[in-house]
């Protein structure tokens, strides 16, 4: 497991609790380079990449690079179907030093996507329930942040359904889309709110 300069506190918590709990349909694993073909199959899709904030993969080398640079760490997870072990998507909890949002210590940014063939099966809803429990009750983060493009109504719905609060919108440029200017909506869920709801 690659820890990439996490604080000793966080490293210890993650070592004690490496994975969120399985859900009805899914389990969480770390990514490894052998997953590059499966990632490539899912990450070529225009809508998946663009809505997640990255350029859709056009070669298997793109997928290998994404695993090496972004996914090969202790806080990123491949989401696998229990029924056949296939990867259906990705979810991560980026600690403060890796988040592009200006977040505090003991806070993390959540990111996720699901391959288009698997949309609307409730998979990310299942994964969010499990990873939020993990984030607040096992890793003891104080706040979880999330962001989605202004037009991403599905993600917005998912944040609100999971008790996040809309905070603000910030301007961003999609560098891989000829610097198109748009807005990112920022959401946050605090541990105190989560604990109150799930007492
Ligand atoms: C966003 C995404 C991860 C959702 O994954 P999923 O597994 O299909 O999501 P689920 O099936 O768990 O839930 C989808 C929810 O959105 C709702 N929904 C579907 N289409 C919708 C729309 N056009 N507007 C609003 N809500 C919509 C569904 O009804 C469901 O909500 P419900 O459970 O309350 O009925 C997936 O669409 C995706 O990867 N999109 C592209 C990348 C992306 O947007 N990543 C997130 C970046 S923030």
For the chain, the structural domain boundaries read: 8-197
Tell which atom from ligand 1 comes closest to the C-alpha of 113.
39
* Average pLDDT per 10 consecutive residues for the chain, totaling 199 residues: 84 96 98 98 96 95 97 97 98 94 95 98 98 98 97 97 97 80 95 96
How far does residue 150's CA lie from ligand 1's centre (Å)? Answer: 14
Superfamily (CATH) of domain 8-197: Gcn5-related N-acetyltransferase (GNAT) (3.40.630.30)
Q: What is the pLDDT of residue 179?
A: 77
Tally the residues of the chain. Answer: 199
Q: Which token pair is 189?
A: 């869920």
| Residue 23 three-state SS | coil
193 and 142 in contact (C-beta within 8 Å)? no
Residue in 25, 122, 154 to alter for ligand 1 test, most ligand atoms within 8 A of Cβ: 154
Q: What is the pLDDT of residue 1?
A: 67
């Amino acid at each position: 497991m690659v820890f990439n300069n996490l604080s000793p506190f966080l490293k210890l918590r993650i070592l004690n609790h490496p994975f969120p709990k399985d859900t009805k349909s899914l389990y969480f694993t770390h990514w490894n380079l052998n997953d590059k073909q499966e990632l490539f199959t899912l990450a070529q899709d225009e809508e998946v990449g663009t809505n997640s904030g990255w350029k859709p993969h056009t070669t298997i080398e793109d997928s290998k690079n994404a695993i090496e640079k972004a996914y090969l760490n202790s806080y990123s997870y491949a989401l696998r179907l229990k029924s056949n072990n296939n990867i259906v998507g990705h979810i991560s909890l980026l600690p403060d030093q890796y988040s592009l949002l200006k977040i505090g210590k003991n806070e993390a940014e959540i990111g996720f996507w699901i391959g288009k063939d698997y949309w609307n099966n409730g998979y990310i809803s299942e994964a969010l329930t499990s990873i939020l429990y993990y984030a607040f009750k096992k890793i003891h983060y104080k706040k979880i942040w999330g962001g989605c493009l202004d037009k991403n109504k599905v993600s917005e719905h998912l944040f609100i359904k999971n008790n996040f609060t809309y905070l603000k919108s910030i301007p961003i440029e999609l560098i891989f889309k000829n610097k198109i200017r748009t807005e990112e909506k920022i959401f946050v869920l605090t541990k105190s709110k989560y604990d109150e709801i799930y007492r």
